[in-house]
Structure 1
């Protein structure tokens, strides 16, 4: 059987439970991924001894351009916890790069907001 088989029954949905995709693991050996962390494939060759499953390879195909983790989870249709474990496997093997989200911008000064409101009212 090839690794490219998709384990989905059209009527029943996924045949393999999400915990089976991760081998029962619920956390990664890497740092926790934020939902808005940006992920991209490094383009490194996958070694024959890497033991990547079809879902790992599917994720690599989706990460040819930089994307947030939450968007990848949405496209794949798997729970975010499963995506984090699978991405942790790929990160451990050096197949992806992860960039943490930028810190939230500081709030603008109250005086600036008042000026904007005044300007809008003047229109």
Structure 2
């Protein structure tokens, strides 16, 4: 078989799309709706190798030795947030990561005014 007969099944421009599809095994949404970009995750299985072979899983475990948000992990991996949430969810399901969703921000009341006042004072101090 010569080189012309053995052509690639994808073109150069489709690389990132094919990569995301392969990393997430075709999934486009996380099975964990409680994960958002501010959710903090931390590796609770230090030294244990993930059962999944994709390098992104090992990198997430390495990055999350200290608590990181899902958004920070996505930035480090240079992956879309949706794909990162899928991978993080897999590692949570496997028992490698624990997560903590951010506290809900109060929408009314004194605490909200105190927060706004603190932000305003910090901006003025700059």
Q: Tell me, yes or no, whether TM beats 0.5.
A: yes
Distance in 2, matches of 1:78 and 1:41, equals 19
Unmatched runs of 5 consecutive residues or more in structure 1: 1-11
Distance in 2, matches of 1:15 and 1:24, equals 11
The C-alpha deviation readout for 1:59-106, integer Å capped at 9, x for no partner, is 111000001111111111100011001001101100000100012144
Distance 1:33 1:15, change over 3 A: closer
The answer to whether the 8 Å contact 2:49/2:58 transfers is: no
The answer to whether the 8 Å contact 1:30/1:92 transfers is: no
1:1-123 matches, within 5 Å, as 17-43=19-45, 45-46=48-49, 50-105=51-106, 106-108=111-113
The answer to whether the 8 Å contact 2:30/2:82 transfers is: no
Runs (4+) of structure 1 exceeding 4 A deviation are: 12-16
Unmatched runs of 5 consecutive residues or more in structure 2: 1-12
Question: TM-score, with normalisation over the residues of structure 1?
Answer: 0.68
Question: TM-score, with normalisation over the residues of structure 2?
Answer: 0.66
Offset of residue 15 of structure 1:
8.9
**Paired position in structure 2 for 1:4:** none
Superposition RMSD on alpha carbons, in Å? 2.7
The answer to whether the 8 Å contact 2:42/2:67 transfers is: yes
Aligned length, in residue pairs: 100
